[in-house]
């Protein structure tokens, strides 16, 4: 659904799909809260460059063990990342140009597959661990 001129909120039927593996809907005009109810089998979640708002639930990103790509960049998503993380497969984590705040979780240093963490233009604080 990238650049498909989709607007409004995501239909509840999409959000309720527990078997959803890839969700790529960047560069649209999606609004509302698309974060917080995506299925546990998700491998790729990209809602970048939309009008998504609301809080990113603390620990949400760590609940999806199979996630490899997560992008919420260029949205109005707020909240903190939390510290709970079981994910060992996450490779790309794009958070820039959001309203995320709080400390950068030290648990991110345990993500052995993490290659890209982009968090510029947020109000997050702290530093990344030297072994990242």
Q: Is residue 2 part of a domain?
A: no
Q: Is residue 51 part of a domain?
A: yes
- Reported as a single tens digit per residue, the pLDDT across 72-114 is 999 998 888 776 556 678 899 999 999 988 888 777 777 888 8
Q: Is residue 18 part of a domain?
A: yes
E runs forming strands in the chain: 7-8, 22-24, 29-32, 44-46, 51-56, 69-71, 76-79, 92-94, 99-103, 116-118, 123-125
Q: For residue 104, what is the domain's CATH number? A: 3.80.10.10
Q: Is residue 66 part of a domain?
A: yes
Q: Is residue 114 part of a domain?
A: yes
Domains of the chain: total: 1
Question: Can you give the residue range of the structural domain that contains 78?
Answer: 7-125
Percent of the chain scoring above 90 in pLDDT: 14
Q: Could you tell me the pTM of the whole model? A: 0.83
Q: Is residue 132 part of a domain?
A: no
């Amino acid at each position: 659904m990238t650049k498909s001129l989709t607007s409004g909120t995501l239909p509840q039927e999409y959000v309720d799909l527990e078997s959803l593996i890839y969700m790529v809907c960047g560069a649209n005009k999606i609004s509302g809260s698309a974060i917080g109810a995506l299925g546990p089998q998700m491998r790729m979640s990209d809602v970048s460059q939309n009008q998504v708002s609301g809080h990113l639930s603390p620990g949400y990103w760590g609940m999806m063990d199979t996630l490899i790509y997560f992008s919420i960049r260029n949205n109005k998503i707020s909240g903190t990342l939390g510290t709970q993380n079981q994910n060992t497969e996450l490779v790309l984590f794009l958070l820039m140009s959001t309203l995320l705040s709080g400390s950068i979780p030290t648990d991110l240093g345990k993500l052995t597959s993490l290659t890209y963490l982009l968090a510029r233009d947020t109000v997050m604080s702290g530093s990344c661990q030297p072994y990242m």
